Amino acid sequence: ADRVTTIALAVCIVLSGAEPIIQAGHCDFDVEPLFPGYFWDTSCQEGMSGCNADQKNMECRFCGGGNYSAPCPPTSCHFPNEPFVPYYWDPDCKMGMLGCWADGIHAQCRFCGEHPFTGVPCPDKLLAPPNKGTCTFLDNEPTTPYYWDANCTMGMLGCNADGIHDQCRFCGKDVYVDIPCPASEVCGFANEPMTPYFWDPECAMGKLGCMA
C-alpha cells in the first residue's frame, strides 16, 4: 500500500515568556490593525490577555506591544507575496530603522540577515520560507547561481532555470545580475559561519570578504 508521510513544521520566535502554541487558523478583522500584531494561538482561553482579538475567534490573539506581552511570531507579518529575505517581529522597530516596516503594514515587521540587512542579526530561531522546493538540473550544474522563488512564473526573467520548475530562478550574474540572490540559498558552507555574509555580484578573487 502507498504510504504518505506528512511533516508539519511550525517554528516560532520566542522573545520572552512562555512559548505560544501556533497552528493554522485565521483572524477575521473587519479592519486590519496596524498595531499591535496578532496571530492564531490555540492555547487561548477566555480571560487570557489579547485573546479574542477580532471579537470573533477566541484563538485570535494580540501580541508584541502596547498592553499585550505575548511575543509575536513572524507570522504576524503579512506579505502579499512571501519574501525570501528572512524576517521577524521586532517590538522595538520604528520607521526609519534598517529593515523595519518589511511588510509595508507593520513597523515591527523587520527584515534581517540577508543583504542589504546583514547589519540586522536574525534571531536564533526563525520562520523558514514556505513553499520551499528544490531545483533539479538533469545535465550539468550551472555556473550561474540560482534559488527557489515561489513567486516565479513562466516568462519572468530567470524563472524555469532548470527547465522543469517555474519557481527555479537564476540570479546575481550576467543577464540576471539585477535579480538579488538570497545568500542563505546560494552560498554553500560546510558549517554555518557566525560572521554575517551576503551575495555580492561584484565580488572577485582577492577582494576583501569574497569567496567566503
**pLDDT digits over 40-60, tens only?**
998 999 999 999 999 999 999
Q: What is the pLDDT of residues 171-206, one digit of tens each?
A: 988 999 888 888 777 887 777 777 777 777 777 788
Q: What element of type H or E holds 76?
A: none
pLDDT at residue 26 is higher than 70: yes
Cα-Cα-Cα-Cα dihedral of 196, 202, 205, 211, to 10°?
Answer: 30
Confidence tier at 122 by pLDDT (50, 70, 90): confident
- β-pair partners for 65: 68
Confidence tier at 10 by pLDDT (50, 70, 90): very low
Compute the mean pLDDT over every residue in the chain, rounded to the nearest whole number: 79
Across the chain, where does the E strand assignment appear?
Answer: 37-40, 60-63, 87-89, 109-111, 146-148, 168-170
pLDDT at residue 72 is higher than 50: yes
The CA distance from 99 to 36, in Å, is: 18
Q: Which of 75-84, 86-95, 165-174, 186-195 has the lowest mean pLDDT?
A: 186-195
Output the pLDDT for position 125. Answer: 63
The CA distance from 145 to 152, in Å, is: 16
pLDDT at residue 164 is higher than 60: yes
> Average pLDDT of 24-48?
87
Confidence tier at 126 by pLDDT (50, 70, 90): low
pTM: predicted TM-score of the whole model, two decimal places? 0.52
Confidence tier at 3 by pLDDT (50, 70, 90): very low
Q: Which of 47-56, 93-102, 106-115, 132-141 has the lowest mean pLDDT?
A: 132-141
Buried residues in 103-140 as b, exposed as e (16+ CB within 10 A): bebbbbbbbbbbbebbebebbeebbebeeeeebeeeee
